[in-house]
Amino acid sequence: MLWNPEIETMSQDALRSLQLDRLQRTLRHAYEHVPLYRERFEAAGIHPDDLRTLDDIAKFPFTVKSDLRNTYPFGMFAVPMHQVARIHASSGTKGKATVVGYTRSDLEVWAECVARSIASAGGEPGDILHVAYGYGLFTGGLGLHGGAERFGCTVVPASGGFTKRQVTLLTDFGADGLACTPSYAVNIGETLQAEGIPAEQLKLRYGIFGAEPWTEEMRQRLEQLLGIDAVDIYGLSEVMGPGVAIECREEKNGLHIWEDHFFVEVLDPETGRPLPPGELGELVFTSLSKEAFPVVRYRTGDLAYLIDTPCSCGRTHRRMSRVKSRVDDMLIVRGVNIFPQEIEAELLLVEQLAPHYQIVLSRQGALDTIEVHAEWRSTADRDAVDLERFVAAVERALHTRLQISPKLVVHPPQSLTRSEGKAIRVIDQRNL
């Protein structure tokens, strides 16, 4: 189902011309109202009027996360505070929180993008949508909430945590859709099983999972566990929040970027060179309609590639691949680059293992060591295998995929910490 067919199936030409017009306006708005942009543009010897084609965006300077930190809290807002209707912020675990703001019109655009996203996931007006993303400063809960109301859903604003209660609500209210992080969806699915509730007893048809990287293998586990279609939703606070891009249920192969509101570039993270579709690079976004917090060439640190072939769902907005990882999540172990998602993909191929894992990096003398902590799906699974052989086989498979030799530690069922939001997959003890 399309929520806004006129926009979602717009011709490429019309879309590019709309983008050019909105890009020009955004650059002017940022230049006129945000001192940081004015200074940067002037230092680069560039003016918003110099953007005549979409390719001219390459002449404009990048914006990075530290720009938000250095102007904390409201220094990059482009409207007076009385026009700011809402604030969100990142948790700031790696330093000061980054704060973003929305005017009423920004909130409407956000709701529109999320409404389209729910439709793309297979939702229908009238559905009950259970939102178990965290509510509060995090954009997940309220972002999905606003879009679901706009779409015409009955929203269950469950937020994260109290997982047994989530299971009761999902069952008693008969939710059609579940929105939460994929790692929390696993936790909910397992709690259902532990409570003896079969997936068929739920009415759930679809899951809208994102806010953290996940793999195709995880999708398959989740679809089985919950009896649903699971789609990937992407977004980030600096650019808006959830609903910048989402997969369609028809293909589940790449996320349609709502290009009428976001201009995307995929660049080589080291040289800044634009990369053609199919080549993995850093996603860089420029907002096209934001008033309170316009962003110009914001470097997300997220690695993905563009897909510009037509999609069978009929949407014309280009797709991006899943986010493979963040630039700074790439682990370098003994000189070898590893993405945590590669470990996830390998572990989830092993049916005796539960979809929970943690990667621990430490250093012995001058050498990095890597341990992969996994968990038995059940004690019966553990008892049915020859432990030494099993561990050796999984370690060999990890070695083949990663070209390094992690040590595998398999824990009893239910013993690894469960996620209630974004899962912490990597513990790096090398520089403690």
Part of the chain binding ligand DLL (CB under 6 A), chosen from 30-38, 39-47, 162-170, 227-235: 227-235
Among 26, 63, 103, 139, binds ligand DLL (CB under 6 A): 139
* 401: contact with ligand DLL by CB under 6 A: no
- Treating both helix axes as pointing N-terminal to C-terminal, what angle do 216-226 and 340-347 enclose, rounded to 10 degrees? 50
Torsion sign, CA atoms 312, 313, 317, 323: negative
The binding track of 90-109 with respect to ligand DLL, each residue x by CB under 6 A or -, is: x-------------------
Instruction: State in angstroms the smallest separation of the CB of 391 from ligand DLL.
Output: 30
> What residues numbered 309-328 form the site for ligand DLL, per CB under 6 A?
323, 326
Instruction: State in angstroms the smallest separation of the CB of 245 from ligand DLL.
Output: 8
- Helix or strand or coil: residue 346? helix
Alpha helices in 160-319 (DSSP H): 163-173, 182-194, 216-226
* 369: contact with ligand DLL by CB under 6 A: no
> What residues numbered 243-302 form the site for ligand DLL, per CB under 6 A?
300, 302
* 372: contact with ligand DLL by CB under 6 A: no
Part of the chain binding ligand DLL (CB under 6 A), chosen from 158-166, 233-241, 358-366, 371-379: 233-241
* 236: contact with ligand DLL by CB under 6 A: yes
Among 148, 188, 233, 311, binds ligand DLL (CB under 6 A): 233
Bridge partners, 379 (sequence order): none
Part of the chain binding ligand DLL (CB under 6 A), chosen from 42-50, 134-142, 290-298, 366-374: 134-142
In degrees and rounded to multiples of 5, residue 196 shows phi and psi of 75, 25
* 177: contact with ligand DLL by CB under 6 A: no
In degrees and rounded to multiples of 5, residue 106 shows phi and psi of -60, -40
Among 241, 254, 269, 421, binds ligand DLL (CB under 6 A): 241
* 166: contact with ligand DLL by CB under 6 A: no
- Helix or strand or coil: residue 218? helix
Q: What is the DSSP string of 121-179?
A: HT--TT-EEEE-SPPSSSHHHHHHHHHHHHHTPEEE---S--HHHHHHHHHHHT-SEEE
Instruction: State in angstroms the smallest separation of the CB of 289 from ligand DLL.
Output: 18
Bridge partners, 209 (sequence order): 180, 232
3-state percent helix, strand, coil for the chain, nearest multiple of 5: 35, 25, 40
Instruction: State in angstroms the smallest separation of the CB of 171 from ligand DLL.
Output: 24
Bridge partners, 263 (sequence order): 286
Part of the chain binding ligand DLL (CB under 6 A), chosen from 78-86, 132-140, 267-275, 403-411: 132-140
Give per-residue burial for 269-291: e unless 16+ CB within 10 Å, then b.
Answer: beeeebbeeeeebbbbbbbbbbb
* 371: contact with ligand DLL by CB under 6 A: no
Instruction: State in angstroms the smallest separation of the CB of 127 from ligand DLL.
Output: 18
* 242: contact with ligand DLL by CB under 6 A: yes
* 122: contact with ligand DLL by CB under 6 A: no
Total residues contacting ligand DLL by CB under 6 A comes to 21
Part of the chain binding ligand DLL (CB under 6 A), chosen from 120-128, 236-244, 259-267, 394-402: 236-244
| Euclidean distance between CA atoms 257 and 203, whole angstroms | 29
C-alpha separations of 211 from 67, 133, 214 in Å = 22, 9, 9
In degrees and rounded to multiples of 5, residue 159 shows phi and psi of 60, -175
| Euclidean distance between CA atoms 350 and 348, whole angstroms | 5
Part of the chain binding ligand DLL (CB under 6 A), chosen from 209-217, 220-228, 372-380, 399-407: 209-217
The nearer residue to ligand DLL, 261 or 369, going by C-beta atoms, is: 261
In degrees and rounded to multiples of 5, residue 193 shows phi and psi of -60, -45
The nearer residue to ligand DLL, 232 or 375, going by C-beta atoms, is: 232
Q: Which two tokens stand for residue 59?
A: 């002449």
